[in-house]
Amino acid sequence: MFQRLRGTRDFYPEEMAARNKLFKIIKETAERYGFVEIVSPAIESFDLIAKKSGEDIRDEIYAFEDKGGRTICLIPEFTPSVSRMIANRQKELGKPLKWFSIPRHWRYERPQSGRLREFYQLNVDIFGSKSPKADTEVLSVGISIMLNLGLKDFLFHISNREFLQGLLQESNVSDIHEAFRIIDKREKIPEEEFIESLLNCGIKNYDEILDVLDSVNIENIENFKGRNKMIDRSIDNLLDISKSLDYYGFKEYCTLDLSVVRGLAYYTGMVFEVYDKKKEMRSLFGGGRYDDLVESFGGEPTPAVGFGMGDVVLELMMKKEGVWPEEKTYIDYYVADIGDVDKYVLSIVRKLRDKGYRVSFDLADRNLSNQLKYADRINAKNVIFVGEKELKEGKIVIKNMETGEQEKVEIGKI
């Protein structure tokens, strides 16, 4: 007997139905915001992936040599592919682009709660707009998706990297991305270790910086202006976003949280991370602005903002909140035969199918009892009995399986 590979999932009919429902809600929401769907290959050259994440990524992904000796990999994320797509057709695409996709990704990791080796990830991005309105649009579609999925106990923690970057510029930081990584980990590591790491980075005034991070909120942030250009720019951006979110009616789902920096090197402006309100689970998803990335993939300079939302944590959260779709598969009609009536059964089945109904009939030469059992099993809404007795008067019997009621109908009426 063969087993599934570690960290992968089979989707049996009910599970597939649930997934289809989930994706349908997500797609419809994204489309209502004017995003259009794209998809790209599951395999890409290793160089493309390494361009963004570095050669070391090899240990964490599925990479291998193909028969032509090329090093290729199963895509572990979407950003390189979509950046490539944009760079490839730079000239003909009308900006701003609003694209979404729900590709499958593969990562060679140890599976644990909310994390598998194969998963789906919604990617929503706007390319070609620097405006805070694009930041807000991305946040809003994210909030709408959560709400349309039936979730409400979530909070978008919004920040802007340039604020912290501006603060750090004032001290002599050796490696700014290392500093981002450390501050991103603040809640996870012991205080002493945290401070020591900051000192190692050359941040001597760490207490001042932490003080600022802790005391800033959306009401008083304006008071921090005037320190340097970068900080001012980030404050304007955050205030713009906050204002737009208020106008749009989504302010209640957001909070300013400057401790959110995200570990990744490529983010340039607004960044956000979504948590359940009680912060019991790992981060649900996150994203931000990455204005330099497309250019680094060989395209023209193209500002971009977006997010990635994995399906695994989402499913956990939805199950916890009791809003996971429990979809049952069903058919509209099961046509049961009693006696030698194939001719009638098949013509009835054909007519009903042409009308758009989901229809099945006996494929296993079963007796009536077992046919009914099967009809029940596959969740048939109605059973049509085609029996020799009724056929003599040109009739068939339709039974509603939910109410148990049944009636004789002229065969021509189908």
Partner RNA sequence: GCUAGGGUAGGGUAGCGGUUAUCCUAAAGGACUGUGGAUCCUUUGACUCGGGUUCAAAUCCCGGCCCUGGCCCCA
Out of 17, 48, 57, 239, point to the residue binding RNA (CB under 7 A).
57
Q: What is the DSSP letter of 115?
A: B
Instruction: Report 83-142 residues binding RNA (CB under 7 A).
Output: 107, 109-113, 115
Whole-Å CA distances, 57 to 83, 114, 272, 318, 403: 18, 21, 24, 31, 59
> What residues from 37 to 56 belong to the interface with RNA (CB under 7 A)?
49, 53
Applying CB under 7 A, among 60, 222, 252, 300 the residue interacting with RNA is 60
- Binding segment toward RNA, per CB under 7 A, in 124-132, 181-189, 241-249, 297-305: 181-189
CA atoms lying within 13 Å on the CB side of residue 128: 13
Q: Is 331 in the site for RNA (CB under 7 A)?
A: no
Q: Which is nearer to RNA, 70 or 282 (CB)?
A: 282
Q: What is the closest distance, in whole angstroms, from the C-beta atom of residue 114 to RNA in the complex? A: 7
Contact criterion met (CB below 8 Å) for 237 and 269: yes
What's the rounded Cα separation, in Å, for the pair 124 and 321?
A: 24
Quick one: which of 373, 394, 407, 410 contacts RNA (CB under 7 A)?
A: 373
Which one of the spans 63-71, 215-223, 238-246, 387-395 is the region binding RNA (CB under 7 A)?
387-395
Residues 6+ apart with CB under 8 A from 55: none
> CA-to-CA distance for 7 and 282, rounded, in angstroms?
18
Residue 221 per-residue DSSP state: G
328 makes contact with RNA (CB under 7 A):
no
Of the candidate spans 84-92, 151-159, 182-190, 191-199, the one that interacts with RNA by CB under 7 A turns out to be 182-190
Q: Which is nearer to RNA, 53 or 237 (CB)?
A: 53
Choice between 128 and 286, CB closer to RNA = 286
Element (H, E) at 293: helix 293-296
Alpha carbons 61 and 368: distance in angstroms, whole number:
54
Contact segment (CB under 7 A) with RNA among 14-22, 151-159, 226-234, 402-410 equals 402-410
Q: Which is nearer to RNA, 46 or 206 (CB)?
A: 46
Instruction: Using CB under 7 A, pick the residue from 70, 282, 319, 343 that binds RNA.
Output: 282
Handedness of CA 229, 235, 238, 240 (dihedral sign): negative
Query: What x/- string results for residues 157 through 176 when contact with RNA is judged by CB under 7 A?
Result: --------------------
> How many whole angstroms separate alpha carbon 324 and alpha carbon 249?
26
Per-residue contact flags (x/-) with RNA for residues 245 to 264, judged by CB under 7 A: -----------------xxx
Least distance from RNA to the Cβ atom of residue 376, Å? 4
DSSP 9-40: ----HHHHHHHHHHHHHHHHHHHHTT-EE---
Please say whether the beta carbons of 285 and 154 come within 8 A. Answer: no
User: 270 with 284: CB under 8 angstroms?
Assistant: no
Tokens of 302: 């193209």
Which of 141, 302, 399, 414: binder of RNA (CB under 7 A)? 399
Q: Show the binding pattern over residues 341-370: x = contacts RNA (CB under 7 A), - = does not.
A: -----------------------x-xxxxx
Work out whether 239 is an interface residue with RNA (CB under 7 A): no
Q: With binding defined as CB under 7 A, does residue 4 bind RNA?
A: yes
Provide the CB-side half-sphere exposure for 1 (13 A, CA).
Answer: 2
Q: Are the C-beta atoms of residues 299 and 129 closer than 8 Å to each other? A: no
Number of residues this chain uses to bind RNA (CB under 7 A): 54
62 near RNA, judged by CB under 7 A: no
Closest CA to 241 of 96, 156, 137, 145: 137
Question: Helix or strand or coil: residue 190?
Answer: coil
202 touches RNA (CB under 7 A): no
Closest C-alpha among 326, 280, 325, 324 to residue 113:
280
As measured in angstroms, the least distance from the Cβ of 256 to RNA is: 20
The neighbouring-strand residues paired with 106 are 118
CB of 93 to RNA, least distance (A): 22
Give contact residues for RNA (rule: CB under 7 A): 3-4, 6-7, 49, 53, 57, 60-61, 76-77, 79, 107, 109-113, 115, 181, 185, 188-189, 262-264, 282, 286, 308, 338-339, 364, 366-370, 372-374, 376-377, 385, 387-390, 397, 399-402, 404, 406
